[in-house]
Amino acid sequence: MDEGEFAEAAERHRHELRVHCYRMLGSFTDAEDLVQETLLRAWRRRETYEGRASFRAWLYRIATNACLDALDSPARKRELVAAGGSMAEVSWLEPFPDRFLDEPGAVAEARETIELAFLAAIQHLPPRQRAVLIMRDVLGWPAPETAETLDMSVPSVKSALQRGRATMRSHLPEKRSEWGGRASAEEREVLRRYVEANERSDLGALKELLREDARQTMPPHGLLFDGRAAILELWAPVVEGDAAWGEWRSVEVWANRQPAVANYVRRDGASFTPVNIDVLRVVDGAVAEITTFDPHLFALFGLPGKL
């Protein structure tokens, strides 16, 4: 396979490799880097490709092992701050913009395997156990192929999968099986109302949108606000009173197949500048969880640096 043939064959799988690395690492930025590392390793080892497995499976093996190397590297070792399963504990968590999931030729990704709750939960698994669960339950690979890819025995793969599934159940939200596969009319309506309430600085309207047991987390800062009252207490001085930040503008975006809002604020008549991105989890017509990300991710969503 010459350089041109290799590049063409590898490019066909770039999108799904990026999603695979994202599931392994929980960070879009790191996933981009690991895809490049995967393709570089594959090119250097192209003579070892014997054609016994598909070229796609060969790339997945290289990508998985590249991710495991990254997770095992002392320089990139990551530890959960505390037990409990909150997204706040996964400080490296980043959103995956839907604009990349919707690229022409992109592989359709099931919502339940790309949503933030799944990504945060799977980060609690040891790296090799994480790889087993992704390959078996997400990619649908048989146990023998998974075992060969990870240099494990089939019994070890089955044991790791059983343990991984148990851990995932303990970290995933309730009623997850009832979530829809695609954006619902209900979610779109909640998103519309959320944007309007933000732009009006209407704390009462925002209160109506929140479930009483709603949570807000802020990776990478490790902050957790548990319950509607705690969230409103956080928001109140920002949108009301003498200390209010200014005039707000909110832009609808989508991330991890979930509704999301990019928030801008204008102070003293200047331009609107980025503040944060809120990714929403909607349950029964109300916001159950808000995951708030820093403004440096605006460019990832193709958003301008000012309005």
pTM for this predicted structure = 0.91
- Residue type present at position 156: S
DSSP β-ladder status, 210-218 and 223-226: antiparallel
> Residue 115 to residues 206, 235, 254: CA-CA distances in angstroms?
23, 25, 11
pLDDT score for 54: 87
Residue 292 burial (CB < 10 Å; 0-12/13-18/19+)?
Answer: buried
User: 18 with 109: CB under 8 angstroms?
Assistant: no
Output the tens digit of pLDDT for each of the chain's 307 residues: 677 788 888 889 999 999 999 999 999 999 999 999 999 999 888 877 877 778 898 999 999 999 999 998 765 555 544 334 566 678 899 999 999 999 887 888 888 999 999 999 999 899 999 999 999 999 999 999 999 999 999 999 999 999 999 999 888 887 665 545 566 899 999 999 999 999 999 999 999 999 999 999 999 888 899 999 999 999 999 998 888 999 999 999 999 999 999 999 998 878 999 999 999 999 999 999 999 999 999 999 999 999 9
- Taking alpha carbons only, the member of 233, 224, 246 closest to residue 290 is 224
User: 81 with 45: CB under 8 angstroms?
Assistant: no
For the beta carbon of residue 83, count every other beta carbon within 10 angstroms. 9
**Where exactly does CATH 1.20.140.160 map onto the chain?**
3-178
SS3 63: helix
Query: Which residues 6+ apart lie within 8 Å of 13 measured at CB?
Result: 55, 56, 59
Inter-residue long-range contacts of 269-272, CB under 8 Å, 24+ positions, other chains counted: 271/306, 271/307, 272/247, 272/306, 272/307
**Where exactly does CATH 3.10.450.50 map onto the chain?**
185-301
User: 262 with 250: CB under 8 angstroms?
Assistant: yes
pLDDT score for 84: 47
The full DSSP string for 152-203 is: --HHHHHHHHHHHHHHHHHHSPTTGGGS-SS--HHHHHHHHHHHHHHHHT-H
The full DSSP string for 88-152 is: GG-TT----BHHHHTSTTPPP--GGGTSHHHHHHHTTS-HHHHHHHIIIIIS---HHHHHHHHT-
Query: What CATH number should be reported for the domain whose range is 3-178?
Result: 1.20.140.160
Q: What is the Rg, in whole angstroms, of the alpha carbon atoms belonging to the chain?
A: 21
Q: Which class would CATH give 185-301?
A: alpha beta
pLDDT score for 166: 94
